[in-house]
Amino acid sequence: MECMRTLRPGRNNKRMMTQILTANPGVHNKSAWTVFSRVTWSGLFSFILIGLIMLQGCAENTLPQSPVEITLIVDGSEKQLQSDSKSVLEFLSEQGVILSESDRVSPPETARLIDQMTVAVTRVIYVMETVTNTVPYERKVVRDATLPEGESRLLQSGSPGVREVKYRLTLENGIQSDRILISDVFISSPKVEIRVIGTRTELGTIYINGTLAYLNRQDGWIIRDNNQERRRLTSSGDLDGRVFELSPDSTLLLYTRGVTFTTTFNELWLVRTTEANPNAVPLNVQNVLWAGWSPVNQEIAWTTAESTDRPPGWRGENDLWTATMSTKNILTNRKQIKEPEVGSGYGWWGTRYSWSPNGNQLAFSLPQSIGIIDIKTTTRITLQTFPAYKTYNSWAWNPEISWSSDGLFIISTVHDKAPGGGDSEESPVFNIRTLDVTGVYSAQIVSEAGMWAYPKLSPDGATILYGKAIVPYQSATSRYRLCIIDIDGSNQHCFFPEENEPGIEIPLWMWDSGGENVAYIENGDLRSINITDWTSQTITDDGQITQFDWR
pLDDT tens digits along 515-538: 999 999 998 899 999 998 899 899
Q: Comparing 441 with 10, which gets the higher pLDDT?
A: 441
pLDDT tens digits along 218-267: 999 999 988 888 899 999 999 999 999 999 999 999 999 998 777 899 99
Distance CA 474, CA 56 (A): 88
* C-alpha separations of 532 from 184, 445, 471, 495, 516 in Å: 59, 22, 28, 11, 7
pLDDT of residue 44 exceeding 70, the answer is no
Predicted local distance difference test score (pLDDT) of residue 464: 95
Q: Which DSSP state fits 426?
A: G
Buried b (16+ CB within 10 A) or exposed e, 402-423: bbbeebebbbbbbbbeeeeeee
Query: Strand, coil or helix: what is 219?
Result: strand
Predicted local distance difference test score (pLDDT) of residue 383: 95
> How does residue 506 score in pLDDT terms, banded at 50, 70 and 90?
confident
Distance CA 233, CA 225 (A): 16
CATH code at 126-196 = 2.20.230.10
pLDDT of residue 153 exceeding 60, the answer is yes
Predicted local distance difference test score (pLDDT) of residue 19: 44
Predicted local distance difference test score (pLDDT) of residue 36: 38
* C-alpha separations of 19 from 8, 28, 63, 349 in Å: 19, 15, 41, 107
pLDDT tens digits along 67-103: 999 999 999 999 999 999 999 999 999 999 999 999 9
- Share of the chain residues as helix, strand and coil, in percent rounded to the nearest 5: 15, 45, 40
Inter-residue contact 456 to 446 (CB < 8 Å): no
Least confident of 152-156, 284-288, 410-414, 446-450: 152-156
pLDDT tens digits along 303-356: 999 998 888 888 999 999 999 999 888 999 999 999 998 766 788 899 999 999
> How does residue 433 score in pLDDT terms, banded at 50, 70 and 90?
very high
Predicted local distance difference test score (pLDDT) of residue 48: 56
Predicted local distance difference test score (pLDDT) of residue 145: 63
pLDDT tens digits along 97-124: 999 999 999 999 999 999 999 999 999 9
Domain boundaries, the chain: 2-62, 68-122, 126-196
Predicted local distance difference test score (pLDDT) of residue 24: 45
CATH class of 68-122: alpha beta
Mean pLDDT, all residues of the chain:
86
E-only strand ranges, 1-49: none
> How does residue 51 score in pLDDT terms, banded at 50, 70 and 90?
low
Say yes or no: do domains 68-122 and 126-196 share a fold. Answer: no
Q: Comparing 379 with 276, which gets the higher pLDDT?
A: 379
Predicted local distance difference test score (pLDDT) of residue 10: 42
Inter-residue contact 510 to 548 (CB < 8 Å): yes
Residue 479: closest CA among 458, 508, 516, 459: 508
Burial (CB < 10 A; 0-12, 13-18, 19+), residue 389, is buried
Question: What is Dmax (Cα atoms) for the chain?
Answer: 152
> How does residue 151 score in pLDDT terms, banded at 50, 70 and 90?
confident
pLDDT of residue 142 exceeding 90, the answer is no
Distance CA 15, CA 477 (A): 108
Query: Strand, coil or helix: what is 329?
Result: coil
pLDDT of residue 467 exceeding 80, the answer is yes
Q: Comparing 10 with 137, which gets the higher pLDDT?
A: 137
Distance CA 157, CA 176 (A): 42
pLDDT of residue 449 exceeding 90, the answer is yes
Predicted local distance difference test score (pLDDT) of residue 545: 93
Q: Comparing 4 with 403, which gets the higher pLDDT?
A: 403
Predicted local distance difference test score (pLDDT) of residue 150: 78
Rounded mean pLDDT, 36-64: 47
Determine the distance from the C-alpha atom of residue 537 to the mean position of all C-alpha atoms in its chain, rounded to a whole number. Answer: 38
Report the residue count for the chain. Answer: 551
Predicted local distance difference test score (pLDDT) of residue 65: 61
Query: Strand, coil or helix: what is 200?
Result: strand
pLDDT tens digits along 357-414: 999 999 999 999 999 999 999 999 999 999 999 998 889 999 999 999 899 999 999 9
Predicted local distance difference test score (pLDDT) of residue 63: 46
